[in-house]
Amino acid sequence: MGLWPAIIKTAAAPWVVQELGAEEARADLVRRAVGNEYLHVHLLAMRLPYERRWTSRYHCSLTSYTRLEHAGPTPVEFLLTTSPASMRGITGDKLAKVPIGPTRLAGPVPYLGGPLDIEIGLFAIKEKDLAEPYLDFLQSVGELAGVSFVAPALSLIRPLKDGLNALVGTRDSVLGVGAVRTFTPVRTGVFAVLATTSTALARRQCVLSDDVLCWHDGSPVTDVAYVVFSIEASAARADWARLPEVGPVYAALLSAARADRLPAVKKLLAQFERTVLLSPDLIESDAETIVAAVKRRVERAMPAAGQTLSQIDLPAFVDLGVFPRAASEPANRNLVAMPR
Is 167 a residue whose pLDDT tops 80?
Answer: no
Residues 214 and 258 both lie in one domain: no
Among 234, 257, 284, identify where a domain stops.
234
Among 234, 269, 286, identify where a domain stops.
234
For residue 263, the model assigns a pLDDT of 87
Buried b (16+ CB within 10 A) or exposed e, 5-44: eeebbeebeebbebebeeebbbeebeeeebeebbbbbbbb
Residue bearing the bigger pLDDT, 49 or 330: 330
In a domain, 80, yes or no: yes
205: containing domain: 6-234
For the stretch 228-267, pLDDT in tens is 899 999 999 888 888 888 888 988 988 888 888 888 888 9
Residues 93 and 160 both lie in one domain: yes
Whether the model pTM is above 0.95: no
Residues 275 and 218 both lie in one domain: no
Residues 18 and 167 both lie in one domain: yes
In a domain, 330, yes or no: no
Q: How many helices (H) and strands (E) does the chain have?
A: 7, 12
Instruction: Count structural domains, the chain.
Output: 2
* Reported confidence tier of residue 272, pLDDT bands at 50, 70, 90: very high
Residues 130 and 246 both lie in one domain: no
Among 201, 234, 267, identify where a domain stops.
234
Residues 51 and 131 both lie in one domain: yes
For residue 319, the model assigns a pLDDT of 79
Residues 145 and 47 both lie in one domain: yes
Residues 229 and 247 both lie in one domain: no
Residues 62 and 123 both lie in one domain: yes
